[in-house]
Amino acid sequence: MTADRSAPDSPSSDSSPASRERQWLRPTEETDAPADPRRTSALQAAQSPPITRSILVGSLVFLVVLGVVLAFVPWRQTVSGTGEVTAYAPEARPRTIEARLTARIGKWHVVEGDRVAKGDTIAVLEDLGASYLADQFAGQIAEQRTSKLEGLRLEVERARQKLAQARQKQRAAEEKVNNAALGVATARTRLAHSVAAAADLAAARRAVESARLNVQRKKQTLEARRAELNRKVDNVEQRASNAVVRAPIDGTISSISRVGPGQTVKKGSPLALVAPQTDDRAVELFVSSIGASLIEPGRQVQLQFSGFPALQFSGLPDASIGTFAGTVRFVNPVDDGSGRFRMLVVPDTSADHADWPSPDYLRQGAPARGSVLLSNVSLGYEIWRRMNGLPPQLTTENTNSKK
């Protein structure tokens, strides 16, 4: 019974691992069935659609063509700089009024925004010198000078009188000598008188010479004293004049120092700033040392002022909007101490350029940016030049300064 029961189970025992492997290898309906057309392999799923490849190839061709075209696009090399609006003529620039002596502020005669003419009183200072505080000090010094000079003149006059008396004595002695000489031939007894007369003549001559030297010394003393007193009077008058601060030019008081009446200011301290009313304008730009070596007077400059909307293309000046034209007038041969060089740009008066804004809107001190126009090159060359760190190309042009 046991053997019979185990016999039918033997086939099932043989179908364990090996038979199962063989069963997996046997063809079935599922494995032999055709694949679902809606399903693809991983490699097929990773491949780009044909339309994407066409777009990429077209974009690459477009970029290559665009690069070749841009390589031959004209480009204007420039040297850029920044600065501010100023005036070309020195007398048209703002003037700083300084204190010409150490003193106290007595009174301000102007406020900011006032229009002043040349010579108008800006402020009055009070001299701190003890001897200069008296109101009539200049008059007192003048009176002292007059009295001292009068005394010296009297001394000179007395010396002259003494000189005249000495000369009279000399003439009297000479007459005695002459009289004695006439009587020597006829009377030897009068010889002694002749010798005495000669001695008197020598003494008279010495007295005359001494008096003449005394007169000269008195004159020299008088002239020296007069010069000393004149300098003293001039100094007092000058200090009194310096105590009144006046406007050096016609213009507008743009700023006043924060110093009130009674406060002390030192000599040379700024008191006020006067801005002249003028149409003279220029732009002060600072460029690098390399750029300064390529700039010469007469070069055209494309300017952009702060507060005036503009679209500036440094390499395409004809495409810029809202910029103004200028001409290089002067390039400083010495740097400002930091490696930058200063140049002055004046308005371009050509008929095909727009005028600069009115001075009521474009004031001195407004920030400005400028590009000095150099030679024309291709955009490809410009990119290659910048990649290699080369300076802009310099070409010889007939500038306005050479015409």
- Hunting for tokens 């492997």 — which residue is that? 21
Residue type, 36: D
pLDDT, tens only, 63-93: 888 878 777 888 888 899 999 999 998 888 8
| 285 & 376 share domain | yes
Instruction: Tell whether 121 is covered by a domain.
Output: yes
pLDDT, tens only, 275-324: 988 888 999 999 998 889 889 999 999 999 998 988 887 778 888 888 99
Instruction: Tell whether 11 is covered by a domain.
Output: no
Residues 96, 101, 104, CA angle at the centre, nearest 5°? 95
| 294 & 398 share domain | yes
Instruction: Tell whether 294 is covered by a domain.
Output: yes
Structural domain harbouring 113: 92-128+244-275
| 103 & 233 share domain | no
The residue from 242, 267, 290 where one domain ends is: 242
- Read off the tokens for 262: 């009674």
Instruction: Tell whether 57 is covered by a domain.
Output: no
- Which candidate, 31, 64, 79, 23, places its Cα nearest to that of 314? 79
Taking the C-alpha atoms of residue 9 and residue 37, their distance in angstroms, rounded to an integer, is 45
- Lowest-confidence range among 248-252, 262-266, 395-399? 395-399
Instruction: Tell whether 225 is covered by a domain.
Output: yes
Instruction: Tell whether 44 is covered by a domain.
Output: no
Taking the C-alpha atoms of residue 124 and residue 179, their distance in angstroms, rounded to an integer, is 78
Specify the 3-state DSSP secondary structure of 372. Answer: strand
189 pLDDT tier (thresholds 50, 70, 90): low
**Tally of domains within the chain:** 3
| 376 & 395 share domain | yes
| Residue 5: count of CB within 10 angstroms of its CB | 8
Residues 368, 369, 374, CA angle at the centre, nearest 5°? 140
- Hunting for tokens 């007092």 — which residue is that? 236
Taking the C-alpha atoms of residue 155 and residue 222, their distance in angstroms, rounded to an integer, is 9
Strand order of the sheet with strand 115-116?
95-98, 270-275, 251-256, 115-116
190 pLDDT tier (thresholds 50, 70, 90): low
| 258 & 195 share domain | no
| 233 & 266 share domain | no
Instruction: Tell whether 305 is covered by a domain.
Output: yes
- Read off the tokens for 155: 């001394």
Q: What is the CATH number of the domain that holds 335?
A: 2.40.30.170
Task: Give CA torsion, residues 68, 73, 78, 81, to 10 deg.
Answer: -80
Taking the C-alpha atoms of residue 364 and residue 86, their distance in angstroms, rounded to an integer, is 5
CA atoms within 13 A on the CB side of 167: 8
- Read off the tokens for 370: 């400028």
| 358 & 304 share domain | yes
| 191 & 320 share domain | no
The residue from 192, 226, 242 where one domain ends is: 242
Q: What is the CATH number of the domain that holds 96?
A: 2.40.50.100
Average pLDDT over the chain reads 76
Q: What is the CATH number of the domain that holds 164?
A: 1.20.120
pLDDT, tens only, 213-250: 877 777 777 777 777 767 776 776 777 778 888 998 89
- Hunting for tokens 């001195």 — which residue is that? 364
Instruction: Tell whether 200 is covered by a domain.
Output: yes
| 282 & 395 share domain | yes
- Which candidate, 251, 327, 335, places its Cα nearest to that of 289? 335
- Hunting for tokens 């000598």 — which residue is that? 177
| 228 & 296 share domain | no
- Specify the DSSP class assigned to residue 321: B
**Confidence (pTM):** 0.57
